[in-house]
């Protein structure tokens, strides 16, 4: 029979996957001799089985649970449901990854009318009677809410009514008779809501509570938390059942929560709160104002002294800041939980550095301790904590780009520019953004969109700029024409003030105070350690010198993606580019492109200067041309006049550019095949800019990288590469200079991945464009997927947005195939990634594992990528070390040679023959046969032992 249940004394900290974090830590605290009420843990595998069995606890699991109830009854000298000495228990969740507040807990389980009456009869003290009824009403309320899903509000109203009737402010001021009456009212409300009596059988209570905890693994808040923190649904939660200790027993008792270091700043000092005559839920729920943990020393000096010793023991043992829950019952301390405490990014950096300085951690361990995602909060303005706590969100979208933004609402990119020019801070609100909005986005403090996901245009560009962005707020009712929208029951107009939180996705009415993010010295220290241990390079996606300089400040080692199309949208260039698009002949197009060439060359020179000799990868024109043409009547007229064409002719050209599926249409290198003059102009700009900068800075040894987008077929890549090489040769010959450069391609289509060996023969490098590769592998649009992905999450078809977290099973396999085939076809090939996944920690780790040379991400995600790359390298090194150690252990175990194995086999066979022959005779002879079999086994053991000893 499978083991579904473990006593705390049977586990340890290494069994986290099976026992969950809470269960493993309770076991570990038991092992090191701390005062833990002795209970048991129902495994995470039992949770998985619960779901496989149709959300039911099977008889085998429940049988083991009751067997272990008997064991803790004996250990605690109390009996479950007994009237003389009842065992009351708590039932708590405990996933392998900490999920504070996401799942459910039930306290005081095992109480019923009979047990309550018997407990009171055995102790006539009125204070004890009050404690019993206090525990009973708490249990009824918690069980009703958590297990039977009867809302708290019904019970809270009854409590408020009772306090009003008695003229008191706090629950603690109600006496025994009040609490007894409340318990009766609670049971009546339970029956009123559910149509049946409150369950009195402790065994039934226990089973229902365990099911409720398993069920809470799939509650909405837990599902959201898991998606946000990369916790797989398949892990499940454990359940911890432990005897109750009572902080609400009397004024000699209490409960508290504490941290061994300040979780906000990282300062090394005991932080926490404590409440007398209370249970843990009172501290967490804020029912009463707790006292600082240090005040506990005056109330319970002995327990406090022991607690501080426990804190030191736990931090030394786990070598990390600890978050602990504890109870004092009659001045005696009991530890109910410990875990590595949640902390701010600032605190995480300080704690990691301090632990190294204190000799508790190595540099590698310090780097591995920090969640890379938390670094975002150090790099963007944030709302003031107190001001944010006082504000109520009107709505919520996707936190697409971190930071805090507040200002006056504008509805167009032009208005954002003009309002900003006159000194106004603005938030740009759009149905969705397009490349044309880029200048307005730069002028805005933040961007709010109704449509689009985490990799929509607004999200990607905002992250690149370091602008706060909330995307995909579908609750907004937009009226762009009249410059107004409705949200949360309020209508907003142009000029009204709002605030948006790009980390949480929350949207607020009015202006919320912001504070500048601060990067403390510990940040640089951690990053220097990360750079010391990582193997992969980290580049940035940048299109402007300002972005490039910011990325360099944050540690970028080059540009992995310069999107040249963004350079065409400024006012002095877009008209020329539109002339090129609407030209009828090659000559007309070349004439327009000649006008753009100096702008493009200057752009590249500025980028080269900003990067100071670091690699710069320039992607040639990628979007379909329809994104550049005008849509407004006035702009069309203006273009027609500039071209000397009729308005109807220009409209006809614009109409001809329409595509039913533009993201899979006439774009990328297909444009260069159709219009090679575009590729020639961009090649000239790249080479001329590099030659010019090389003359000024010969020590930089410029080597530009030209990236051809959207290759699917080796022949089309060869065709475009020839245009690039021939044009570059002409330019270098004309300049009289020599210059090394590389030509590579993006791997963005499944066909490119599966034919990577052929493409690699002609390419100097590959770069994965995982936004498009994901889109084409799944076959859905990244901008529209948000409409149905929530249904996929709810039905457990998918756990994450594949545009945010790389799909390692599908897209990842294509990447691995392309890496292996590409490097086999061209050993000098270097490979990177420049999709948005380049800044996602789990995706960066995958890239390291499949052998990429670099990742490239938006400037403000560079530190995240640096840290993630270091963690991947440290993890790989640890795995190799463990593997080599395992092999060494295996070689030590292999001391039985072939000759000895043959002798052992022969001895066993003889024993079997003797036993078989003798078993067919009389019983007496059968006994002799058994003796002979034993003798044969002893002989075999002797041979084995001799060999082992030698």
User: Catalytic residue numbers?
Assistant: 457, 834
Q: Nearest Cα to 867, choosing from 552, 553, 526? A: 526
Q: Nearest Cα to 55, choosing from 211, 208, 205, 220? A: 211
Query: How many CA atoms, within 13 angstroms, populate the side-chain half-sphere of residue 834?
Result: 26
522 CB-near residues (< 8 Å, 6+ apart):
346, 349, 350, 352, 353
Gyration radius of the chain over CA positions: 34
CA distance 369 to 379: 19
Handedness of CA 301, 302, 305, 308 (dihedral sign): negative
The answer to whether the beta carbons of residues 698 and 655 sit under 8 Å apart is: no
Question: What single string gives the DSSP state of each residue in 875-911?
Answer: HHHHHHHHHHHHHHHHHHH----HHHHHHHHHHHHHH
CA distance 135 to 598: 79
CA distance 723 to 720: 5
Q: Within 444-536, where are the H helices? A: 457-465, 521-533
The token duo for 674 is 């159709």
455 CB-near residues (< 8 Å, 6+ apart):
771, 782, 803, 804, 836
365 CB-near residues (< 8 Å, 6+ apart):
319, 355
Interstrand relation of 705-708 and 616-619 (parallel, antiparallel or unpaired) = parallel
Buried b (16+ CB within 10 A) or exposed e, 247-261: bbbbeebbbbbbbbb
CA distance 461 to 269: 42
DSSP letter (8 states) at residue 143 = I
CB atoms within 10 A of CB 365: 15
Strand ordering across the sheet containing 291-292: 291-292, 271-276, 254-259, 322-329, 332-340
324 alpha-carbon distance from chain centroid: 24
Q: Nearest Cα to 24, choosing from 45, 10, 37? A: 10
CA distance 597 to 683: 10
Q: Provide the β-strand partners of residue 404.
A: 501
CA distance 228 to 224: 6
The answer to whether the beta carbons of residues 917 and 933 sit under 8 Å apart is: no
* Angle at which helices 59-76 and 44-52 cross, to 10°: 150
The token duo for 519 is 């990067």
CA distance 51 to 214: 8
810 CB-near residues (< 8 Å, 6+ apart):
777, 778
The answer to whether the beta carbons of residues 526 and 368 sit under 8 Å apart is: no
Buried b (16+ CB within 10 A) or exposed e, 25-51: bbbbbbeeebebbebbbbbbbbbbbbb
CA distance 674 to 440: 32
* Angle at which helices 633-643 and 571-581 cross, to 10°: 70
- 3-class secondary structure per residue, 395-412: EECEEEECCEEEEEEECC
- Phi and psi, residue 514, nearest 5°: -115, 160
């Amino acid at each position: 029979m499978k083991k579904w249940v473990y006593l705390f004394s049977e586990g340890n900290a290494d069994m986290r996957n099976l026992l969950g974090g809470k269960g493993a830590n309770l076991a570990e605290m038991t092992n090191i001799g701390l005062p833990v009420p002795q209970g048991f843990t129902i495994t995470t595998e039992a949770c998985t089985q619960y779901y496989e069995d149709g959300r039911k606890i099977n008889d085998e699991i429940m049988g083991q649970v009751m067997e272990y109830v008997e064991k803790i009854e004996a250990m605690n000298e109390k009996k479950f449901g007994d009237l003389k000495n009842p065992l009351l228990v708590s039932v708590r969740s405990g996933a392998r990854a900490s999920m504070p507040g996401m799942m459910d807990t039930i306290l005081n389980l095992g109480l019923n009318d009979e047990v309550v009456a018997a407990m009171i009869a055995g102790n006539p003290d009125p204070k004890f009677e009050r404690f019993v009824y206090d525990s009973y009403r708490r249990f009824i309320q918690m069980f009703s809410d958590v297990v039977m899903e009867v809302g708290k509000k019904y019970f809270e109203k009854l409590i408020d009514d009772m306090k009003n009737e008695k003229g008191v402010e706090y629950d603690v001021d109600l006496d025994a008779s009040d609490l007894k009456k409340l318990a009766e009212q609670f049971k009546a409300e339970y029956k009123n809501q559910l149509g049946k009596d409150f369950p009195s059988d402790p065994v039934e209570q226990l089973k229902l509570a365990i099911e409720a905890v398993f069920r809470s693994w799939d509650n909405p808040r837990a599902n959201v938390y898991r998606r946000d923190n990369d916790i797989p649904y398949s892990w499940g939660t454990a359940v911890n059942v432990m005897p109750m200790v009572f902080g609400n027993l009397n004024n000699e008792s209490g409960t508290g929560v504490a941290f061994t270091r300040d979780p906000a700043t990282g300062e090394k000092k005991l932080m926490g709160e404590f409440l007398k005559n209370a249970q843990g839920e009172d501290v967490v729920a804020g029912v009463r104002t707790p006292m600082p943990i240090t005040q506990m020393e005056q109330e319970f000096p002995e327990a406090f002294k022991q607690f501080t010793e426990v804190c030191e023991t736990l931090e030394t043992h786990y070598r990390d800041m600890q978050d602990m829950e504890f109870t004092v019952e009659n001045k005696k301390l009991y530890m109910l939980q410990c875990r590595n405490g949640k902390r701010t990014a600032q605190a995480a950096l300080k704690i990691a550095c301090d632990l190294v300085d204190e000799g508790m951690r190595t540099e590698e361990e310090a780097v591995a301790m920090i969640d890379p995602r938390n670094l975002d909060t150090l790099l963007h303005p944030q709302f003031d904590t107190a001001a944010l706590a006082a504000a109520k969100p009107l709505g919520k979208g996707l936190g697409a780009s971190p930071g805090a933004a507040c200002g006056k609402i504008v509805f167009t990119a032009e208005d954002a520019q003009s309002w900003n020019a006159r000194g106004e801070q603005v938030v740009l609100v759009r149905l969705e953004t397009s490349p044309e909005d880029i200048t307005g986005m730069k002028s805005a403090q933040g961007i709010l969109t109704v449509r689009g996901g985490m990799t929509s245009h607004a999200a990607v560009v905002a992250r690149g700029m370091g602008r706060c962005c909330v995307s995909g707020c579908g609750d907004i009712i937009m009226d762009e024409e009249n410059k107004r929208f409705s949200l949360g029951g309020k209508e907003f107009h142009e000029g009204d003030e709002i605030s948006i939180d790009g980390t949480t996705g929350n949207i607020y009415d009015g202006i919320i105070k912001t504070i500048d993010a601060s990067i403390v010295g510990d940040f640089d220290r951690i990053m220097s350690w990360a750079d010391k241990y990582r193997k992969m390079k980290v580049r940035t996606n940048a299109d402007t010198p300002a972005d490039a300089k910011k990325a360099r400040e944050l540690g970028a080692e080059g540009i992995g993606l310069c999107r040249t199309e963004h350079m065409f949208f400024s006012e002095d260039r877009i008209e020329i580019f539109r002339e090129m698009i609407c030209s009828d002949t090659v000559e007309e197009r070349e004439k327009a492109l000649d006008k753009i060439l100096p702008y493009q060359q200057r752009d590249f020179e500025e980028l080269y200067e900003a990067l100071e000799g670091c690699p710069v990868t320039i992607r040639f024109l990628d979007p379909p041309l329809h994104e550049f043409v005008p849509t407004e009547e006035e702009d069309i007229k203006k273009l027609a006049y500039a071209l000397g064409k009729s308005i109807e002719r220009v409209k006809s050209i614009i109409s001809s550019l329409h595509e039913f599926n533009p993201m899979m249409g006439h774009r990328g290198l297909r444009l260069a095949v159709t219009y090679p003059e575009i590729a020639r102009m961009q090649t000239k700009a790249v080479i001329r800019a590099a030659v010019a900068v090389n003359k000024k800075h010969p020590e930089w040894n410029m080597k530009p990288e030209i990236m051809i987008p959207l290759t699917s077929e080796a022949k089309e890549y060869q065709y475009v590469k020839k245009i690039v090489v021939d044009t570059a040769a002409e330019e270098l010959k004309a300049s009289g200079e020599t210059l090394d450069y590389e030509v590579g391609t993006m791997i963005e289509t499944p066909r490119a991945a599966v034919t990577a060996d052929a493409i690699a023969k002609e390419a100097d490098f590959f770069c994965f464009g995982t936004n498009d590769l994901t889109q084409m592998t799944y076959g859905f649009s990244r901008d529209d997927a948000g409409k149905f992905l929530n249904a996929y999450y709810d039905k457990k078809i998918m756990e994450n947005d594949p545009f945010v977290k790389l799909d390692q099973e599908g897209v990842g396999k294509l990447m691995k195939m392309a890496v292996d085939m590409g490097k086999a076809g061209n050993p000098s090939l270097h490979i990177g990634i420049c999709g948005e996944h380049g800044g996602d920690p789990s995706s960066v780790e995958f890239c390291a594992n499949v052998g990429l040379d670099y990742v490239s991400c938006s400037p403000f995600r560079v530190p995240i990528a640096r840290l993630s790359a270091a963690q991947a390298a440290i993890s790989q090194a640890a795995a190799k070390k463990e593997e080599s150690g395992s092999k060494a252990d295996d070689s030590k175990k292999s001391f039985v040679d072939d000759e000895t194995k043959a002798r052992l086999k022969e001895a066993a066979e003889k024993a079997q023959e003797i036993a078989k022959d003798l078993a067919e005779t009389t019983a007496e002879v059968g006994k002799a046969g058994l003796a002979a079999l034993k003798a044969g086994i002893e002989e075999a053991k002797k041979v084995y032992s001799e060999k082992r000893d030698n």
